[in-house]
Structure 1
Amino acid sequence: MKILENLLPYNQESEIETSKICWFYDETSDLIELDLETFEKTLHRLIIPENNIDERICICQLPGNKLFCYGNTIGWADFSGITFIFNENYEVQVLPTGTPSLGCCGTYYKDCVYVFGGEFAERFNIDKWRWEKLIKLPSRTRWYSSTFLNDILLVTGYDWDKIFALDLFTLSFSSCPISLLWYETKFLCNFEDSAYLIDYPGKIFESGKNDPFNWNLIGNFAGSEQGGIIGRKALYNKAWYFLTGDSEIIKFDLEEKKIIRINLPLTY
């Protein structure tokens, strides 16, 4: 069985919408799934070769209610211990493993999963069933976050004070004119023709329409000095949901452009 076969055609303007957000529990293969409509949790035990999954593993939404997982297992300090995908029936398929990726993130765009982590940007080409190393990252960081706008991939990280734009035609990085804080948790996302950055200390930035090089501060909220590091996100019903390490969900309402904080223990 190949779970990645016959992915649904996807006319992609925004990241893929889903009504659930998932994370691995307590360094195991137990997956907690949160329903974003009811906020009820369900526990699933995945059958995978490696049972000890690091909470920092990248989980990326694919078309057809499939999830791509890439990153660390316990005991692998600085490179991908496992890469796999699972579907809505929680059937697992192990994939080829990529290269170094501590605290990585992933974004699905045009039949590829783009992964930022360690020292490199890579993509898993679903049609060719292989990893392709793209370019060395501008510098090394932790707890990456990424999204896209047109054919530009946007990425930032905990140790960076800016957003970098990866042009998929030239495979080159440019720095976006935006000033952020070092050593803070940041979340990138998009919707229709704009990208957004949630700076966890309490700021909301919006890009120009189809313009990743024009950013404006559009709001503030009561953030946190430390922030969370889990970094799960989900787009649902015109809102983005971000799971942090502070036992809460951050909801970003895309119509009102405001943040709502929801208390949520990470345990089951």
Structure 2
Amino acid sequence: MWGYAVLRCPACGAQVGPDFVFCHVCGSPVRPQFPGPPPHLLYPPAYAPAPRPTRVLWGTRTKRGITATILSLILLWIPGATIVGGALLSLGSTLMFWGRHGFSLQHRRAILVAYFVLWIAALLYVIVFVAFVLTAYEAWTSGATMDRIQPATVAFVWVSTIPTELLVVALALQIRYLLPPSLRWQVWVAGLVLGALVLLATILAFQQVVSGLPNDFVRMSSVLGVLNQISIARLVEGPGFAWFAYLYYRARGAIARESAGAGEKTSTVANP
């Protein structure tokens, strides 16, 4: 009739075109009606569904930063583990800096000052250490003995005390307002004790250096031996760092209890 395949109306039998939905004679539907949604909606969408929001406590980053700092306080004063302890301390302080939101204004200000002081101390220590290494390298290339680097070693022992004392200040500021009020007095006492132990360790290291360096040519092994002697003298700082590790542990527990019942300290973010 139309020059192409035709259908017949199931009601009246009239011929209808293949694209007809209703019969042009009786008006009955030509195609069967399938129950349910159209076929193109029976399959899942090709795109990924939107992620569901979840509630994350503001204190999560701070608690993780405190955990990293506790590990660093255990390693900082141990010979051979100072570099790992310093890396963990940098990580912990950065996490606490990022997670300062949601806490009191006093804590946010203290974290800003502590973060600035910490990186000033790190930069100063790197400068002092690089200066010592360059002096030792110059003595090694000239074939000098260890007596040549004794003044540089003495300067390194005393000047490196300054960034260590700045580190004590930063450690105290980071948890000053995270601890319960009944424990805050221990922060300054622990800071004074650790500062005194740092000074005592410096005096012990100075006495070892003044008593004489090995009567040998400057080599990497001899320079590392001198640095190891200085690190051994730093072992007396252990009780002070352990006290701070305890205070950080108590601060972490206080954050967990406070955040669990504080709805205003939460933020809505999307799962990755």
**TM class, shorter-chain normalised?**
under 0.3
TM-score (norm 2): 0.22
**Bigger relative contact order (CA 8 A; separation at least 6):** 2
Structure with greater helix share of residues: 2
State which structure, 1 or 2, has the greater radius of gyration over its C-alpha atoms: 2
